[in-house]
Amino acid sequence: MHGVLAFGVRDAYTHSMPQRPHMPPQAPQVRRAPVPTHEPLQPRQPVQRTAADVRHAAVHNAYRLLVLAGLGVVVFTLGMLVMILWYPVLFPHTAHVIEVATTTPEIVAEEPEDDLHRVPTGATSTSVLDASQEMQTPVQNPPGTVATSEETPEVPAEDTTNTIPPLPDTPEPEEPAVPDVPDPAPAKPEEKPETKGQNYKIGIAVGETLSVVSEAELKRRLDDMADLGVGWIRADLAWSTVERVEGQYEWGAFDAVVREANARDIKVLPILTYTPGWARRDTCSYTKFCDPEDPVAFARFARDATERYAPRGVHHWEIWNEPNIRLFWAAGAHAGRYTPLLQAAYAAIKQVDRGAFVVSGGLAPTATGNGNIAPLEFVASMYGYGAGEYFDALGFHPYSYPLSPTYTYFTNAWSQMAETDVSLRSIMALHGDGDKEMWLTEYGAPTGGPRKGATESILGWPEYDHVSEAYQAELLEEAFNAADSYAWAGPLFWYSYKDLGTSNNTKENHFGILRADGSTKPAYEVLRALR
């Protein structure tokens, strides 16, 4: 009964439940995190600024820009000042560098528009202002003939164009070799007439003019100079004239100059300069103003000249004329090429005459460029190449016109001797040469030319390319008096004695204290009074 009852109850329960349909087995369900929902991004609302905020920001930014610009200007200015004032001193080994020209420049007769107070070179240069160019030498007779004119012929008009080749690559200078030289012959005493006494602070630079006149004219001019009290003459002893053919010498013309000067107690400063055709560098073989290919060949000429003239009383020598300008160093001025020439000549002269006095080539006032190097830069480079032990005095040409010598100005060559921040004297002192003299181997002013003539000291170059005769006399007196007051200055040589001609097409005709016809200018009497 219990079984029937149980079965009946179970069946009743079972059949009373709703029946589930048959389902296949299900995989376990993985619970996933609900994906969050975001509200859509809203565009950023601009910051609201007032007009005062905008003005404040603009002022702040402008102030920062002004401060930065001001700092830049100050730094740039200080840098430029340091480079201008100290570059030649701090970097003497690089101050001489000249960019090599890529094309052949054409040189025209138009003078440079610069502020250098120095006579331009005229038809043969456009950037160097020079008073002793080839035009200072009168027309010479052909080789083998003798001049018969009593007067120096007028300089003819020159071709106004000239082509100069580009600068060659700069070779590294080598220590020059100097040939052995024999002991000098004993000097022969010479009889001298009595003189009134010469002033050996006063000289006249004559170029080659005394070598091309007759003996009678030579004597007349030297008589006049002696009467003026002139103690020195500076004259070209041109290698290109003396040794036109290698090994064949023509000393006669200079022999006469030395003989007649000695007879009047006038000392001679020969300039060993200019190269004969057979000894020139290939890059400038077309002109005597080319430097020699071999400095030793030049040293032999210096030795031969010393052997000949030391016994005749010549013991002072100047090595080249204005080697810092392309006009007189045609391959392009370069202290690294001039210094070996100076070293070789100095050693050769001293081997013959130990008591000789050697002056470095008088430098021309100029700016660096176009194959020219400014004097301050050139002297610093000379020391860099080892020239300091190979000269007894530094040669310089402090032309100042239309400024006066005592008008201190940074482009005034006279001021550059000792008055500018970096001066020739300061460079010499820096290299231990403060006790050496400077010889002012040219100074002067022309009284005629194609442009305006100055009557007083004025910053007017190149508009004023010459001076009045009265102002020339003032410049002469002021220059000699100033030079005499400098303990470091040797003689001053006035350029020149007599005008070369009357044409005003070139200033080079008018540097004399005598006119071309022999009449005197006011400067002549001023020079006489200085004796």
State pLDDT tens for residues 147-157: 333 444 444 44
Chain Cα centroid distance, residue 507: 22
Judge whether residue 99 has pLDDT over 50. no
Residue indicated by tokens 């410049």: 475
* Residue range 338-395, pLDDT digits in tens: 999 999 999 999 999 999 999 999 999 999 999 999 999 999 999 999 999 999 999 9
Tally the residues of the chain.
Answer: 531
The residue-averaged pLDDT of 190-218 equals 85
In this predicted structure, what is the pLDDT of residue 508?
Answer: 95
Comparing 34 with 101, the larger pLDDT belongs to 34
Residue located via tokens 């006249």: 204
Q: At what angle do helices 335-352 and 295-309 cross, to 10 degrees?
A: 30
Half-sphere exposure of 292 (CA within 13 A, CB side): 29
Q: Would you state the structure tokens that stand for residue 318, as one six-digit string?
A: 């100047």
Position with higher pLDDT, 449 vs 1:
449
Q: What is the mean pLDDT of residues 245-264?
A: 98
pLDDT of residue 460: 87
Helices (H), 276-430: 295-309, 335-352, 375-384, 415-418, 424-430
Answer yes or no: pTM beyond 0.75: no
Buried b (16+ CB within 10 A) or exposed e, 263-297: bbbbbbbbbbbbbbeebbbebbbebbbbbbbebbb
Question: 302 pLDDT exceeds 90?
Answer: yes
CB 290, CB 275: distance < 8 Å? yes
The radius of gyration of the chain's CA atoms, rounded to the nearest angstrom, is 42
d(CA 461, CA 119): 9
The pLDDT of residue 417 is above 90: yes
Pairwise CA distance, residues 152 & 149, whole Å: 7
Distance CA 332, CA 370 (A): 8
Q: What is the per-residue pLDDT for 145? A: 37
pLDDT at 120 over 90: no
Question: Residue 64: in which H helix or E strand, if any?
Answer: helix 51-90
Residue 46, Cα to own-chain centre: how many angstroms?
67
Q: Residue 479 corresponds to which tokens in the numbers above?
A: 């220059």
Domains of the chain: 107-134+201-530 (3.20.20.80)
Which tokens belong to 338? 């001039």
Query: 282 or 98, which is more confident?
Result: 282
371 phi-psi bin (left φ>0, alpha ψ -120 to 50, beta other) = left
**Residue 238 predicted with pLDDT over 60:** yes
Of the ranges 57-61, 141-145, 189-193, 324-328, which is most confident? 324-328
Strand 161-163 to 106-108 pairing: antiparallel
8 A C-beta contact, residue 478 and residue 406: yes
